Structure 1
Amino acid sequence: MEFKGISFKFVHNPKALKNKKNEFFVQLRITIGRISKYYSIEEVPKVPIRYWSGKENRWVKESHSQGARINSFLISKLGKLNEFLVLSTTSGRILTFDLIKSQFFMKGEVNTLNQFYTKYIKERDFDSTRTRQAYLTTLDTLNEYNSSIPIISISESLINQFIEWERRTKDLKDVTIDKHLTHLKTIVKSLTRDGFLVRNPLENIQFKVRPEKADRTSLSNEEVAKLEKLVFSEKEAHLERTRDVFVFQCLTGLYYKDVQELHDEDILQIEDICLIQGKRTKNLQGYIVPISKRAMLLMTKHKLESDELVFHGLCAEPVFNRQLKVVGKKAGLHKSISNKVGRHTFTEIAIASGIPRSYVSKMLGHTKESTTQHYYDINPTHFINQFIDNSIFS
């Protein structure tokens, strides 16, 4: 095909070379202006000279054992190249040899955003399994929207259509859509860096996404006390341990995964004070938090001398969260409690007690102190604590 000074043509042994088997890869000759370059089609086997006809759509003779398969593949390849040429030309994009090579002749051919995204996840060394799973979730959603998005079609308009589809069809909130958008921007940035795109079409684009602030449910001291007073039967022993671990979270601010990974070596004693010093599983950030007498009793209650883990044999997080719903209902709480509620409870109580933000940030293991600032939004409890002893308001 030839289109505005650009042409593609399959050729075979254009330099009339010779080897023992007298067979060579089929090559694609690309001509831009007056310059031609050749690229081997390595997805199909080498073809002996005697089987090459060079005729359009029947390049390899039918007498070749794989002639039909090779011709079918070449027709498909040419169709993709022609489509790429039309899309590029109509979008005003300048075609270069490097761009065409990156699209069609790199190892592990990548033609779509979905393919590159999949490759990105396989090759990237993520900081945590949680982050990797978040990227996979975005990819699953993208594939549901369109499983074959040509790289050349990536644009502000396409992303806006995807956002609207997520809102209307998937009924997703902007806070979730914003996370997906962050992942897609990272992928498109990598596409540009790797030469699949001449420029980043999403750079400096402000999409109309307004993520709501996360709803950080927390318990009061009185509500935590209700949980601690619960009495369980022998058949409810698993719920008792779930209650204990959750209360331990309320007293230490640890995520459930961090509780699962808590070892003896993470417990330090300096003079008469016991501390937990470790690294969060989420970001490997160090944290340090004092252990109260109540938290120490819970650790002692569930510690097995034969195990280095502080809490032995804890269930998976989804099971833990389901059991917490039962525990909360049993305690008569009107709030839905989960793993994160324990951490939020600890944070709210620490702030209300007047602990400086820098210390709260260190106890929570936040990478940036600005993350901790989100917890300092004025709420009724903090407001009352600031003015309750002020004579002006007495």
Structure 2
Amino acid sequence: MASVINREINHYEEVAEKIFSQFEKENLIPDKQTFKDAFLKEVRNIETKKEISKESEFLQAYNTFTREMGFQNSWTDATYKKFTTLKNHLLAFNKEISFSALNEDGLNMFVAYLRDDADLRNSTIKKQIGFLKWFLRWANAKGYNDIRDFEIFSPKLKDTEKKVIFLEWDELMKVYNFEFPENKRYLERVRDVFCFCCFTSLRYSDVANLKWHNVSDYYIMITTIKTADTLKIELNDYSKAILEKYRGCSFPNNTVLPVITNQKMNEYIKQVGYVCEINTPINITYYKGNERIDEVYPKYKLLGTHSGRRTFICNALMLGISPEVVMKWTGHSDYKSMKPYIDIADSAKQKAMKLFNKK
């Protein structure tokens, strides 16, 4: 009997810790009743009935949505932040936001607010509306909301495909082999981690979590942080050399490489690009409303941790490696997400073929 009671107590403690962790991710401080409601739902699947105003019902539903979807889909901190940003936009648009305010007219006004007051690009507005529709679909299914105007709501927002920023092979070799001057030696480790991503396709989150037990003589085996895919990625001469450089070194959390915070690494990668003179001009086109905006940047200003994985994919395809093989390394599950990279590779092949046209 005592062992049964102890197991139940341990279960309750685990549930309580899980719920408090969830509220912390949502930047919420629950009152006694809110915690009780969440606890009962988790351990007994009991939905409490509360008398709440129409205005607060929306936020109550929104917080429940982020909590439930976060649990079910193992949201990362970045996903929680995206939905916190959406909630902040909704409250700035209407501090007494309610489901009834999000009929077709209300949705159009919300888009106008995001464009004119929040000063967002059309591409960002599309993402915000996509997140909002996800919540509203959930609210309909749960019985919180019976307004279905959002289902056919599709504002015409001009947009362009997001440009894929990556290092061409000669640029990658320049960065990989660069000898930093004494006053820039602090960039060497960042360069090495970045290049490791360029030679393995690893995301920042995965290289930051890479341990020596993931590494063998010929490959690395990881379960990715973002998608929980288990990937086997063979090593090449460049990735092997970077690993050997840091073998025997001790880093926090027993990681393989000297990985710093994502924010700081993004800042330093731009410095690496600047010092290595990665200055190719890149034109970025985007829209705000009907206004087309063109901005030109030297490539180094657009580099970040995300560029490492993109560099791997683009160069692998341009080297002639089949998309099917590349997808096994990267974990992509369909061609749709690979299409922008395949288009780049095809374009590069056409350009290369023209070299034969010399007179």
Structure 1 length-normalised TM: 0.66
- CA displacement at 1:231 relative to structure 2: 2.2
Alpha-carbon RMSD: 2.5
Q: Which has the larger radius of gyration?
A: 1
Structure possessing the higher relative contact order (Cα contacts under 8 Å, 6 or more residues apart): 2
Code of the residue aligned with 2:319 in structure 1: it is S
SS in 1 for 2:86: helix
Q: Deviations over 1:305-355 (max 9, x none)?
A: 66652114x211000011111111111111122111111111110110111
Structure 2 partner of 1:36? none
Displacement of 1:234: 5.3
- Taking the aligned partners of 1:256 and 1:175, their CA distance within structure 2 comes to 24
Return 148-157 or 318-327, whichever deviates more. 148-157
Task: Could you tell me which runs of 5 or more consecutive residues in structure 2 were left unpaired when the two chains were aligned.
Answer: 1-32, 34-47, 280-298
Say whether residues 1:361 and 2:304 are aligned partners.
no
1: CA distance, partners of 2:341 / 2:54:
44
Indicate which of 71, 74, 82 corresponds to 1:127: 74
The answer for unaligned runs of 5 or more in structure 1 is: 1-42, 44-104
Which of 315, 337, 341 is the matching residue for 1:371? Answer: 337
Task: Tell me the distance in 2 between the aligned counterparts of 1:353 and 1:279.
Answer: 26
Task: List per-residue Cα deviations over 1:233-274 (Å, max 9, x = no partner).
Answer: 5554431100111111111111111110112222234xxxx1
Q: What is the letter of the counterpart of residue 127 of structure 1?
A: S
Identical-residue share of aligned pairs (%): 24
- In 1, the alpha carbon distance for the partners of 2:160 and 2:312 equals 23
Shift of 1:303: 3.1
Secondary structure (helix, strand or coil) at the match of 1:117 reads helix
Whether the aligned pair in 2 keeps the contact of 1:114 and 1:143 (CA below 8 Å) is no
Query: Partners of 1:132 and 1:279 in 2: how far apart?
Result: 21
Corresponding residue of 2:265: 320
Cα offsets for 1:76-122 (capped at 9, x unmatched): xxxxxxxxxxxxxxxxxxxxxxxxxxxxx933736343442233223
Matched residue of 1:217: which SS? coil
Aligned CA distance change for structure 1 residues 170 and 355 (closer, same or farther; 3 Å): same
1:296 corresponds in structure 2 to 240
Matched-pair contact (CA < 8 Å) for 1:138–1:180: yes
SS at match of 2:228: coil
- 1:196 aligns with 144
- Between structures 1 and 2, the one with greater helix share: 2
Question: In the aligned structure 2, how far is the partner of 1:127 from the partner of 1:212?
Answer: 31
The corresponding residue for 1:309 is 255
For residues 291 and 139 of structure 1, the distance between their equivalents in structure 2, rounded to whole angstroms, comes to 43
Which residue of structure 2 aligns with residue 116 of structure 1? 61
Indicate which of 137, 144, 148 corresponds to 2:92.
144
Worse-superposed segment, 224-233 or 106-115: 106-115
Q: Quick one: distance in 1 between partners of 2:185 and 2:50?
A: 56
Secondary structure at the residue paired with 1:207? coil
- Residue matched to 2:349: 382
Partner Cα separation in structure 1 for residue 94 and residue 186 of structure 2: 44
Residue matched to 2:109: 161
Letter in 1 for 2:49: M
Counterpart for residue 341 of structure 1? 307
Structure 1 pair 263–207 and aligned structure 2 pair: CA distance change class (3 A): same
Equivalent residue in structure 2 for 1:223, among 171, 195, 220:
171
Which letter maps to 2:350? F
Superposed CA offset, 1:280-310 (max 9, x none): 2111123332211111111121233666521
Tell me if 1:259 matches 2:207: yes
Distance across 2 between alignment mates of 1:265 and 1:236: 32
Tell me the distance in 1 between the aligned counterparts of 2:92 and 2:172.
42
Q: Figure out how many residues of one structure are paired with residues of the other and give that number.
A: 284
What is the letter of the counterpart of residue 141 of structure 1? H
